[in-house]
Amino acid sequence: MANVESRLITKRMPWHANMTEMNHLGAALIAKPEIFESKLTKLFTAFQYSDNPLTSILSQFGMERSSNSTEWEWSLKSATTRPLVVLENVEPASNLKPGVGKTPFRIKLDENWFIAGDVLSPGTSNKKYQCRIQEAPFRHGSGWVYEVRLMNDDFAAYLPLQYLAAGTQWAKLYSQYEEGGQQSGSTQYSLPISMKNRMSRYRKQYMVTGDAANEVLAVKIPDSKGTMQNSWIKYAEVEYWQQWYKELERGSWYSRSTNSVLGSTGRPIYSGPGIQEQLEDSHVHRYSHLTSTLIEEYLMDIFYSRVKPGAGRKIKAFTGEYGMLIFHRAIQDWMNKSGFIKNVEVFTDKVASPLHANALSAGYQFVKYRMANGAELDLVHNPLYDDREINFEIDPITGFPKESMRFTFLDFSGEGTSSNLSMVNKTNGMSLTYIQGLQSPYGPVTKGPSAHSGDYYEMHVKKQCGIHIEDVSRCGELILSRN
């Protein structure tokens, strides 16, 4: 695939050398932010994939969408059926063998979803204790009572009392009727779960004095036809934008939802949840030692009975550098024990060395794991998990941040062309402005108005966005815990 994205040219030059206000990237951003914001995003994320992996993936592969509101809702379809739960044993205390002698007995369940003719089971592996509903259920306190009979011709057969205890689950298998019957079995309908999320509002500023405003970098950005066009950006702004997109990446992962914290105006700060908060109710498992078996069984919890075995079981694991190391060791250990490692050791490279005329290098690293039943796991380095500027909790055994050993599993696949994850941007939610004094982004102000008398100019940017996860049950986290 041809690469036509923006790239920085590391050539410095005076700001006035063949540079005009017309092709200044900042000016273009102010003029048409809806066009140039995506170019700027790619400029500072797509070619720094290792620095901002999440926003890079979402930007590069078109996993972004707009919303006119700072909040958005969606419906998540639940399972078509679910088991019903026993609320209490309503049989007389003297009845120690319910159903013995081919007699009917009663089960109290939490819903009235089943009807006469439905055959239920308490979910035993041999499906031995099947019971047919004989009468329509009737209301009893907080639940519904069903009269049932064992599907068994053995006069001595009965249902063990443990299956009438509160909390026991019963599921429908099918519906069966007699010849000439007029009844038919029940049908269950799934009710969609209504979900809601919201954006966060990010802002950042910087100030450039007259003496610091004399260097620029030339850049190229693609137009609508993919042709690279010359533009320029101040060297100070490069650092600014790098930090801006790093902060957006941090917000995408770590933002916490709140509406009770007030800003300087007295208005509440509406903050949306980042990935880690959204995954707190997903598949979270704490581990002390990473193994290939743990990874397989953990991913089985995510995929089991949701995605059929085969090519559809693909997921990315975001982790720190030490997490990448222990992942490699876990897969290497599995390979060593299985004997497959012999197929890898033969691959060596000849290298130039003053020590030997036939010097060789050997080594490899596992960054992908193809498991049984079609599951595939790709490893992605997340530098935020290694960042010592924000991660101070150190693992006493390794001496590295505990966060470096966190594994965040994200399933990006979705229905049709949609993605399970996406960046939701507020429509017209990207704002940028320069506030000039005696200096402007284009040089000293010799004529015309200024907003202040200082020998500097400021730039302010604001963006409203949020991370959308359609179905968090398809994601999860492995978190290191030494306790």
Query: Which amino acid makes up residue 276?
Result: Q
Short-list 22, 158, 2, 37, CA closest to 426? 37
Average of pLDDT values for 151-161? 93
Q: How many CB atoms lie within 10 A of CB 302?
A: 19
Unique residue bearing structure tokens 């159903």: 99
Average of pLDDT values for 159-172? 93
Taking a C-beta distance cutoff of 8 angstroms, is the pair 159, 144 a contact? no
* Of residues 193 and 104, more confidently modeled: 104
Cα angle 93, 99, 100; round to 5:
95
Q: How many CB atoms lie within 10 A of CB 245?
A: 21
Short-list 216, 387, 375, 390, CA closest to 301? 375
* Of residues 270 and 51, more confidently modeled: 270
CA distance 55 to 384: 12
Average of pLDDT values for 98-115? 92
Q: What is the pLDDT of residue 461?
A: 87
Task: Put the strands of the sheet holding 314-319 in their side by side order.
Answer: 283-287, 476-480, 407-410, 314-319, 376-381, 368-370
**Whether residue 21 has pLDDT greater than 60:** no
Q: Give CA separation, 131 vs 155, 188, 337, 426, in Å.
A: 15, 19, 48, 55
Residue 269 tokens read as 């700060």
**Whether residue 62 has pLDDT greater than 90:** no
**Whether residue 82 has pLDDT greater than 80:** no
Q: What is the pLDDT of residue 210?
A: 67
Please tell me what DSSP assigns to residue 119: E
**In the chain, domain spans:** 7-76+195-274, 85-175, 283-421+470-480
| Pair type for strands 421-426 and 64-67 | parallel
Average of pLDDT values for 61-75? 83
CA distance 283 to 276: 12
Q: What is the pTM for the complete model shown?
A: 0.73
Q: What is the pLDDT of residues 234-251, one digit of tens each?
A: 666 767 777 888 889 999
Cα angle 258, 259, 261; round to 5:
90
Strand partners, 206: 459
Q: What is the pLDDT of residues 132-152, one digit of tens each?
A: 999 999 999 989 999 999 999
Taking a C-beta distance cutoff of 8 angstroms, is the pair 132, 186 a contact? no
